[in-house]
């Protein structure tokens, strides 16, 4: 089915809608041309799947309920190799089950988008409540060395927009891209405006004849470290394996040099663009002595804390990470030269806090909250003193 934004908009309905974060993930995906969804129900992400089941067939795309999350991530990777823009959404337990195949998507350089509507763990934890406990798992959960991209929106509008962006980044870098929201944003309703137009990036396809195609070699028409994608069924006869492979795609499991070359390339294609991928929102930072560093749901609480502090005349600033991975190292380094103290606000026992500490050259403290309730502004300001 050919992508046509007018058709998508018609299926989505009114231009202004009062929707929740899960619906925004679904809308964003469809606006980005997503045409394959493989899912498995889980609170608080089920509504993404339910909305997809309703809307996707009307647009000619595929929405299928798989037998578990291992299969749902597998199905979207398989679909991606036929050229589909594919998507799934899940939460903690499902996210854990997907880890092995995330690594497969990384080493095979398969564009896929995954939303994690986070809930409290470990294990089944607090199914209906929000948390930010998977921020390290998304980066390090699968085995071996790799890089991914993870975005952390904090409004419903942004959730929709970041989902569109996630599809573009997945196509551009041939990498799994994650949208990390949580149960609160997933179920919270806000007014959104559906865009009139959407700019889309399509993965680069080979232009050479199949005998000259090097499926995992240097990119020729776009980024040097991102090879062209030979869509299955177009005659390129690509062998795609999760084993360490050479540029032809053939197993090279005993070859130190090939492994080094492959793994470094799939990491560097992301880290080379770390600056470009860095996305930060600042408020009241001009004269700030203390910076509240936060992301996602915790940044909404931080905003409350910021306002309260400013009313009291305290020189507090707000520094929100809109992308988490690749980690905005330089931005944190630079921030630490401007303030005396950084308070990292997050809904876990300290995850991104450790990354901030690694790159900040000033005092860094953690304002942590778990149990399914967001921080109160007072709780955050207690760490500012």
Task: Return the closest-CA partner of residue 222 out of 168, 177, 262.
Answer: 168
Asked if 192 and 19 count as a contact pair (C-beta separation under 8 A), the reply is yes
At residue 119, φ and ψ (nearest 5 deg) are -130, 170
Choose which of 96, 234, 271, 376 interacts with another protein (CB under 8 A).
234
Asked if 22 and 47 count as a contact pair (C-beta separation under 8 A), the reply is yes
Choose which of 27, 36, 95, 162 interacts with another protein (CB under 8 A).
36
Binding positions for another protein, 243-262, rule CB under 8 A? 243, 248, 250-251
First to last CA, the chain: 57
233 binds another protein (CB under 8 A): yes
Structure tokens at 281: 């929102």
Contact stretch for another protein (CB under 8 A) within 56-64, 221-229, 273-281, 338-346: 56-64
Asked if 117 and 44 count as a contact pair (C-beta separation under 8 A), the reply is yes
Q: Tell me the C-alpha distance between 164 and 200, whole Å.
A: 8
Compute how many other C-beta atoms are within 10 angstroms of the C-beta atom of residue 137.
Answer: 18
Shortest Å, Cβ 172 to another protein? 21
Choose which of 75, 90, 154, 299 interacts with another protein (CB under 8 A).
75
Contacts for 236 with CB less than 8 Å, ≥ 6 apart: 206, 210, 213, 215, 230
Choose which of 24, 32, 84, 292 interacts with another protein (CB under 8 A).
84
Q: Tell me the C-alpha distance between 285 and 159, whole Å.
A: 25
Shortest Å, Cβ 48 to another protein? 18
Shortest Å, Cβ 238 to another protein? 6
Shortest Å, Cβ 231 to another protein? 9
Shortest Å, Cβ 71 to another protein? 4
50 binds another protein (CB under 8 A): no
Of 148 and 321, CB closest to another protein: 148
* Residues that bind another protein in the complex, under the rule CB under 8 A: 35-36, 38, 57-58, 60, 62, 64, 66-68, 70-84, 86, 100-101, 104, 108, 230, 232-243, 248, 250-251
């Amino acid at each position: 089915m050919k992508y046509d934004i007018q058709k998508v908009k018609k299926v989505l309905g009114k231009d202004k809608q009062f929707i929740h974060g899960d619906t925004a993930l679904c809308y964003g995906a469809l606006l980005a041309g997503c045409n394959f969804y493989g899912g498995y129900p889980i609170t608080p992400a089920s509504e993404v799947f339910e909305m997809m089941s309703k809307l996707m067939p009307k647009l000619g795309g595929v929405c299928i309920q798989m037998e578990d999350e291992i299969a749902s991530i597998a199905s979207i990777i398989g679909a991606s190799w036929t050229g589909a823009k594919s998507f799934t959404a899940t939460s903690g337990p499902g996210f854990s089950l997907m880890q092995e195949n995330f690594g497969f998507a990384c080493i095979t350089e398969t564009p896929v988008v995954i939303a994690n509507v986070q809930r409290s763990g470990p294990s089944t934890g607090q199914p209906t409540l929000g948390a930010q406990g998977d921020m390290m798992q998304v980066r390090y959960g699968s085995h071996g060395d790799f890089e991914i991209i993870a975005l952390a929106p904090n409004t419903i509008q942004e959730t929709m927009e970041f989902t569109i962006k996630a599809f573009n980044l997945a196509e551009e870098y041939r990498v799994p891209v994650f949208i990390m929201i949580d149960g609160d944003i997933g179920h919270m309703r806000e007014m959104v405006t559906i865009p009139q137009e959407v700019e889309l990036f399509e993965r680069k396809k080979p232009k050479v004849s199949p005998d000259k195609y090097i499926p995992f070699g240097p990119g020729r028409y776009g980024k040097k470290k991102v090879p062209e994608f030979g869509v299955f069924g177009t005659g390129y006869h690509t062998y795609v394996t999760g084993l360490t492979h050479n540029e032809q795609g053939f197993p090279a499991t005993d070859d130190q040099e090939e492994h080094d070359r492959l793994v470094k390339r799939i990491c560097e294609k992301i880290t080379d663009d770390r600056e470009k991928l860095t996305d930060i929102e600042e408020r009241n930072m001009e004269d700030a002595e203390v910076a509240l560093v936060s992301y996602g749901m915790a940044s909404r609480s931080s905003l409350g804390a910021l306002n309260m502090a400013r009313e009291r005349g305290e020189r507090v600033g707000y520094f929100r990470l809109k992308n988490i991975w690749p980690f905005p190292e330089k931005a944190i380094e630079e921030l630490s030269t401007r303030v005396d103290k950084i308070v990292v606000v997050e809904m876990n026992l300290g995850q991104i806090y450790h990354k901030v500490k690694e790159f900040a050259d000033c005092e860094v403290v953690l304002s942590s909250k778990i149990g399914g309730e967001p921080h109160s502004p007072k709780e955050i300001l207690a760490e500012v003193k």
